[in-house]
């Protein structure tokens, strides 16, 4: 990662508190990466840019409760629109996309499968 990016994150405001209750125990894709790997594959550019978009300093970040669990997130700006970068090297998630404020943690999983016919269940 670039030094400029590190400097922006050093200006960090206090982290947002996690939502009430236990934090989710989901495995995040960013956790699969080796911390020693250089995750900047040309995404960071001089002038505080990420993939061509301005990196926003932490003091200007939006308050989105669903993002509080993302430890390495940062935001970029395009005109007046802020985009979420869940971790360095990931794609930018824009507010109009489903993943912007989606809580992926579920205590119970709903099924959308059709119930099996009674005849099939009796054969088993």
* Average pLDDT for runs of 10 along the chain of length 124: 62 61 65 67 84 93 86 91 90 87 67 71 60
Domain total of the chain: 1
Per-residue model confidence (pLDDT) at position 59: 93
53-56 sheet: strands from edge to edge = 44-45, 49-50, 53-56, 74-78, 81-85
Range of the domain at 117: 3-123
Per-residue model confidence (pLDDT) at position 116: 74
DSSP class of residue 93 equals: B
pTM: 0.53
């Amino acid at each position: 990662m670039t030094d400029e990016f590190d400097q922006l994150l050093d200006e960090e405001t206090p982290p947002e508190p996690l939502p009430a209750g236990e934090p989710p125990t989901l495995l995040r894709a960013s956790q699969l990466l080796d911390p020693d790997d250089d995750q900047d594959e040309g995404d960071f550019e001089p002038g505080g840019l990420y993939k061509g978009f301005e990196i926003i300093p932490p003091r200007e970040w939006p308050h989105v409760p669903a993002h509080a669990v993302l430890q390495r997130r940062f935001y970029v700006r395009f005109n007046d629109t802020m985009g979420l970068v869940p971790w360095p090297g990931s794609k930018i998630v824009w507010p109009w996309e489903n993943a912007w404020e989606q809580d992926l943690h579920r205590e119970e999983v709903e099924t959308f499968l059709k119930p099996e016919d009674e005849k099939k269940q009796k054969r088993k």
